[in-house]
Structure 1
Amino acid sequence: MGCTPSRRVSVDDSQPTPHYTEPQTLGKELTAAQRNFPRITFEQIAVQSRTCLVGLYGPWAARGGIAFLRIMFSFPKYYPELKPPSIEIERSSDVSACTRAFLLKLARELMRDHIHNCKPAAFESCLRFLLGDHSAALEAAKVDRFVDSDEEMCEPKTLGYIACVMELNRRGERTRENDER
C-alpha cells in the first residue's frame, strides 16, 4: 500500500492535477519542522540513520502545568510512504506514567493514521499534538479507550479525554501530597 498520487482532470481538462501530493523526503520534512517550530529544540537530527531527537514543552505536567518532553523518533526506510516512525518519550518525574502512556499511544496512532491515509506532514502533526494542540489531539483520537492505573476509562473522542488525563494527574498529585502528610 503506497501513497501513489491519483490523478484527476483539472477544470480546463487539459492538464491532470494530482489528487494527493507526493510524499516528502525525510530530510525535507525534518527541515520544514525545524523552520515551522522555532520553540522546539531539535537536539539531534541524523537523516542518514533516520533518527531525530527533539525537546519541547507541553501541558502534560500534574495540575495542568507545563512539562519538558524529550522524544526520539526513529524513521523506518519506507517512511513517509508506507511505515510510521517508532516514537519513544523519555521518562520524566514531571509527567505521570498515565500521561506518558497516553501521549505515546496517541502520537503513534496519529502517525499511523497519516501514513495509512496518505496525509502529508505526519511528523509536524505529531509535534503539534505533543505541544498540546487540541486539534491535533482530536485528529489522533483513534484509540477506543484508555485505562489508567485506577482502571478508570476515558473516551478519547473529545477534548474531554485530555481533560480526563490532566484530572487524573491532578488527583495523583493530591494523593501523593496526602501520603506525605
Structure 2
Amino acid sequence: MAHTALTFQALQIAVLTVSDTRDESTDTSGEYLVNALQAAGHTLADKVIVKDDIYQMRAVVSNWVANDNIQVILVTGGTGFTERDSTPEALTPLFDKTVEGFGELFRQLSYNEISASTIQSRAIAGLANGTVIFCMPGSTGACKTAWQQIIESQLDASHKPCNFVPHLSCSETACDTRG
C-alpha cells in the first residue's frame, strides 16, 4: 500500500554487510549505516553479515523482501571487481524495477572523492515487492557518501520534489508517521 504522506515516516530498515573477512567487531561500514539510519529517526529491523556468496545474499535479502515489516534494505560490500564480488549478480534478479539513477549519481559523487577509481564501483539499487534495496561499496567512506548525499533524503517522505516513501509497502505497524 503506497502512502502520500508529506511528513517524516520512520521506516524499518535492514542492513546487510557482504564480506569474507568482517565480523561484528570489524564491520565499520555496517555500523555506520546502523548509526546513520537511527540518527535519522528510522528503526533498525535487522542486521546480518554474510560471506560474499550469491545464494547466502539472495536468501537473506529474499527473506527481508518477503517481510511486510521491512521497507528498506541497505547492502554494503561485494560491488567491486574481485573474483568474489557478486552483490549485483546476487540481487539484481530480485528487482522488480531497477533504480538506474542511484549507481549513476553515486559514481558522480564519488568521482569528487576518489577520482576515476569510481568506475570500479558497481553500486546498484532497485525495488522488490515494495522494498527499496540500495547496494553500495564496502568502504565506510562510500557508505557515508551514499547515505548522506543520496539515500537519507530519498527515505524522507517530506523530501521534495520526490522520494521513495510512496513506493514502499508500509503497514500501520511498519511505518511510524510523525510530523
TM bucket (normalised to shorter chain) is under 0.3
**TM-score of the aligned structures, taking structure 1 as reference length:** 0.28
Find the structure with the greater CA-based Rg. Answer: 1
- Choose between structure 1 and 2 for higher RCO, CA contacts under 8 A separated by at least 6 residues: 2
